[in-house]
Structure 1
Amino acid sequence: MFFANHINPASGLVVRNAAAAGRSSKSFYDQKLWDAAKSNYLSAGDYVFIQFGHNDQKKDSARHTDPFTTYQEYLTIYVKDTRAAMANPVLLTPISRAVWHDGTLEQSLGDYPAAMRQLAAKLNVPLIDMNVDTMALFSKLGEEFTQNNLFMFLPAGKYPNYPNGIKDKTHLQEAGAKQVAALVAQGIAKANLPIKAYVQN
């Protein structure tokens, strides 16, 4: 929720987080979480930021989607429903994982970012390419710094919730979440969205 820190308080804009951990574009819809988000939050004029991909890669049937078929189909539902409510959809490609090989950050999201870019162009939806932007940021900061300071790479014996430590290449520490939120704010400006006037980088 650190993105809210980039909103000018005088704007009156409110950031509402309808995300749910572990969901894919498919399971978020199938579990009626999208219905709840529409009912509880969605109003005309809103901006709906839509980002899926990591959990769409999972192999279980409840979550898995194919990038250029079912993934795009579920994203299309979110886009069309948002527009039907006279609101504004924005697609965000999934952020990079901290997966490195011989010192080089790997593209670990398969075809999902490309599939979202293709759909954004087809449906004329604004796109914030978080995959490209996070890969650039993490590559600049380097493997060791990125893993130890941005992602959940935690040593054993330091944190009570992780007594044995953890090496999580997907989920972010607070510092990482703040960096990614800043990239979203910058992406709003690059995409020339009307709300850019209310967003502070």
Structure 2
Amino acid sequence: MKSLLLAAALVAAPMTAHAQTPAAEPEPPMFRAVKIVLVGDSTTAVIGGWGPSFCGQHVTSFAACINLARGGRSSGNYRTEGSWRLAMKEIGSGGFSDTYVLIQFGHNDQPGKPGRSTDLVTEYPVNLKRYVEEVRAAGGKPVLVTPLTRRQFKDGKLIDDLGPWAQATRKVATETQTPLVDLHAKSFAAVQAMGAAEATRFAQMPPPPEVLAAARTGTTISAQPAATGVTPAPAAQNNAAVEPMGQAKLSFDYTHLGRDGADYFSKIVTDELAVAVPALRRVLVP
């Protein structure tokens, strides 16, 4: 009798153990996580640009957003000083289903900036095409962004000093069949509509009283302090002189962005990007 009971127990034990072992949970479906890399100058960079608000407010936690824009960089010296190598490492690092690279230059490609300027015909478009080709060769997906407008006015009209660089960017996008975020067109229209005085709120610091007073007349003047004892006639800001090679200075100017400016223009970038690259809509917050 004891032998029979022992045999029954041995037979039942494996069955009991099997019944108590929880079934393995099914593998969750893989979410197609993406990476967005920002490449450009100070108008995209962490300080002075729209990039921080874009990454912080308009990209969900299902995407990585990395801002590699650098102040004072053009389509030329962004490569020669080594920043492009960092971007290429991000593109090739793996771990994401897709890596999108937003590329915005133009401000520092303009004349008057030694070590930065590029020729609008022979260098700037060639540089952009090379970036596009290398992103694709590395497995990434390029997106060209036209340069953010400056906010200088004359007689109530916004000065379109970056128009030729925006047009060159559009042409490269067409020739290379690259998605385009036309930030220049959208930002230019928005700033023109609001006028010089209201647009001063987008700077990093409030305008000096005389600068705001001039803006209310529809013509902006230089925000740089005059030398002691000298009272020069009102003059337009020399952008080549006040836009530094490195990180944007915390001051008032007509190029760089404070918090309000970053929030405002990053919303434009987000809306335009959702149209230009529909596949990114799922990770963008309007």
- The C-alpha deviation readout for 1:148-190, integer Å capped at 9, x for no partner, is x112452459xxxxxx795411111110011111011001122
SS for the counterpart of 2:254 is strand
1:42 aligned residue = 91
- The C-alpha deviation readout for 1:117-147, integer Å capped at 9, x for no partner, is 0110000000000000101111222210111
> CA separation in 2, counterparts of 1:29 and 1:56?
13
1:55-94 to structure 2, matched below 5 A, reads: 55-94=108-147
Q: Return the letter of the residue paired with 2:185.
A: V
TM-align CA RMSD: 2.1
> CA separation in 2, counterparts of 1:150 and 1:60?
24
Instruction: Normalising by structure 1, report the TM-score.
Output: 0.88
Q: Return the letter of the residue paired with 1:112.
A: W
Q: Which runs of 4+ in 1 moved over 6 A?
A: none
Contact 2:204–2:259 under 8 Å retained in 1: no
Give yes or no for the alignment of 1:139 onto 2:192: yes
Give yes or no for the alignment of 1:7 onto 2:65: no
Residue 38 of structure 1: how far off its partner (Å): 1.1
Contact 1:99–1:108 under 8 Å retained in 2: no
> CA separation in 1, counterparts of 2:149 and 2:265?
10
1:83-122 to structure 2, matched below 5 A, reads: 83-122=136-175
1:188 aligned residue = 273
2:203 aligned residue = 151
> CA separation in 2, counterparts of 1:146 and 1:117?
25
Residue 7 of structure 1: how far off its partner (Å): 1.5
> CA separation in 1, counterparts of 2:163 and 2:207?
29
Contact 1:51–1:93 under 8 Å retained in 2: yes
Instruction: Normalising by structure 2, report the TM-score.
Output: 0.63
Aligned counterpart for 1:21 among listed residues 44, 57, 71: 71
SS for the counterpart of 2:253 is strand
> CA separation in 2, counterparts of 1:2 and 1:166?
19
Residue 66 of structure 1: how far off its partner (Å): 1.6
SS for the counterpart of 2:142 is strand
- The C-alpha deviation readout for 1:29-83, integer Å capped at 9, x for no partner, is 11121012212x1136200000000011142442111222200111111111100
> CA separation in 2, counterparts of 1:95 and 1:131?
5
| Runs of at least 5 residues in structure 2 that lack an aligned partner in the other structure | 1-51, 210-224, 226-249
Task: Report percent identity of matched pairs.
Answer: 31
With over 3 angstroms needed to count, the CA separation of the structure-2 counterparts of 1:52 and 1:20, relative to structure 1, is same
> CA separation in 2, counterparts of 1:59 and 1:105?
21
Counting matched residue pairs gives 192
Q: In proportion to residue count, which structure has more helix? A: 1
With over 3 angstroms needed to count, the CA separation of the structure-2 counterparts of 1:155 and 1:142, relative to structure 1, is closer
| Runs of at least 5 residues in structure 1 that lack an aligned partner in the other structure | 158-163
Moved more, 93-102 or 56-65: 56-65
Contact 2:144–2:181 under 8 Å retained in 1: yes
> CA separation in 2, counterparts of 1:68 and 1:153?
35
> CA separation in 2, counterparts of 1:189 and 1:110?
23
> CA separation in 2, counterparts of 1:29 and 1:2?
25
Q: Return the letter of the residue paired with 1:121.
A: T
